[in-house]
């Protein structure tokens, strides 16, 4: 895609993301319906659904040949990444949205023939927008994010983890996980995969590791992290697949191999 065309698409995606954020902000303090999906901890609200509908409608009207892959099912039944595909998480961190009314994000990515070309992560309540166009660097609002520090030592790292790590996990050797937690300087858990990717890109966290994420959780984050020289792969180091769930490690490039080889010992 020509740079100019890519820029126009970026501006459009950014405009819709900010507009969607405004609409969410108007509703965050009002009562909204909360339902559950897979189990009692898997929440979805009418705001998640309406936000995804907002994007799906805009995209269909403006770019009828583009496909939409969204968490709440208002997009298309996407079975291939051929052509232009928007991968959207209307609210990433729904539990935070419901309980905290903050610490959630809109995640919007555009892939062209399987390659991520545009990524946007909008921290709605702070107004911080992380964005990237492939090959043109990543930004936090108007500021270009510096490349990640390649001399980072694992013992100085702050790593994002989640509840998978606190309870026995059939896929992970606990010894490795516990050793990693002892080795690093600290761990954090923010409850929004998209924001954890954004924080890795910003260099305020050095990594984020989780055992199961969907394409919409990571699609924009991967593009943004890669633009600052960061890594984003499966937990075994293999490439991520944007059509299915993945194990995920995103981190500073200085510690990627060390974490995978020495600590992320997968059982299968």
Q: How far is the CB of 101 from ligand IPD (least distance, A)?
A: 14
Kindly state whether residue 92 participates in binding Ca ion, applying the rule CB under 5 A. yes
Return the residue nearest Ca ion (CB atom): 92
- Antiparallel, parallel or unpaired: β 186-188 and 158-160: parallel
Of the pair 39, 143, the CB lying nearest Ca ion is at: 39
Which residues contact residue 187 at a Cβ distance below 8 angstroms, ignoring those fewer than 6 apart? 158, 159, 160, 161, 181
Partner whose binding site includes residue 202, from Ca ion, ligand IPD, none (CB under 5 to 8 Å by kind): none
Residue 182 token pair: 């002892």
Task: Write down the residue that tokens 């892939």 correspond to.
Answer: 111
Spatial separation of the C-alpha atoms in residues 156 and 264, rounded to whole Å = 18
Of the pair 94, 252, the CB lying nearest ligand IPD is at: 94
Q: How far is the CB of 54 from ligand IPD (least distance, A)?
A: 16
Return the residue nearest ligand IPD (CB atom): 193
Per CB under 6 A, residues contacting ligand IPD are: 71, 89, 92-94, 162, 191-193, 213, 217
**Termini Cα distance of the chain:** 40
How many CB atoms within 10 Å of residue 13?
23
Q: How far is the CB of 169 from ligand IPD (least distance, A)?
A: 13
Kindly state whether residue 217 participates in binding Ca ion, applying the rule CB under 5 A. yes
Angle between helices 193-202 and 215-227 (to 10 degrees): 10
Among 49, 89, 196, 202, binds Ca ion (CB under 5 A): 89
Of the pair 9, 235, the CB lying nearest ligand IPD is at: 235
Name which of residues 106 to 135 contact Ca ion (CB under 5 A): none
Question: CA angle 146-125-232, nearest 5°?
Answer: 40
Spatial separation of the C-alpha atoms in residues 219 and 116, rounded to whole Å = 8
- Total of chain residues touching Ca ion, rule CB under 5 A: 5
Kindly state whether residue 196 participates in binding Ca ion, applying the rule CB under 5 A. no
Spatial separation of the C-alpha atoms in residues 195 and 172, rounded to whole Å = 24
SS3 of 256, please? helix
Q: How far is the CB of 241 from Ca ion (least distance, A)?
A: 16
Partner whose binding site includes residue 192, from ligand IPD, Ca ion, none (CB under 5 to 8 Å by kind): ligand IPD
Residues that bind Ca ion (CB under 5 A): 71, 89, 91-92, 217
């Amino acid at each position: 895609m020509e740079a100019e065309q890519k820029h126009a698409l970026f501006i459009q995606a950014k405009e819709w993301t900010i507009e969607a954020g405004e609409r969410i902000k108007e509703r965050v303090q009002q009562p909204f319906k909360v339902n559950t999906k897979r189990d009692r901890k898997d929440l979805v609200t009418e705001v998640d659904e309406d936000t995804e509908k907002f994007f799906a409608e805009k995209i269909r009207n403006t770019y009828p040949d583009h496909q939409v892959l969204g968490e709440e099912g208002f997009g298309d039944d996407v079975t291939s990444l051929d052509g232009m595909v928007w991968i959207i998480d209307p609210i990433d961190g729904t539990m935070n949205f419901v309980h905290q009314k903050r610490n959630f994000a809109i995640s919007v990515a555009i892939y062209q023939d399987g390659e991520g070309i545009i990524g946007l992560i909008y921290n709605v309540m702070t107004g911080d927008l992380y964005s990237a166009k492939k090959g043109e660097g990543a930004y936090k609002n108007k500021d270009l994010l510096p490349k990640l520090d390649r001399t980072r030592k694992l013992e100085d790292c702050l790593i994002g983890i989640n509840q998978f790590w606190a309870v026995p996990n059939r896929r992970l050797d606990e010894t490795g996980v516990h050793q990693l937690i002892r080795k690093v300087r600290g761990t954090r858990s923010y409850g929004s995969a998209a924001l954890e990717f954004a924080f890795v890109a910003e260099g305020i966290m050095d990594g984020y590791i989780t055992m199961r994420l969907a394409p919409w959780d990571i699609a924009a984050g991967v593009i943004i992290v890669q633009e600052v020289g960061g890594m984003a792969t499966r937990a075994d180091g293999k490439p991520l697949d944007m059509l299915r769930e993945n194990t995920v490690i995103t981190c500073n490039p200085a510690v990627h191999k060390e974490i995978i080889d020495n600590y992320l010992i997968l059982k299968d």
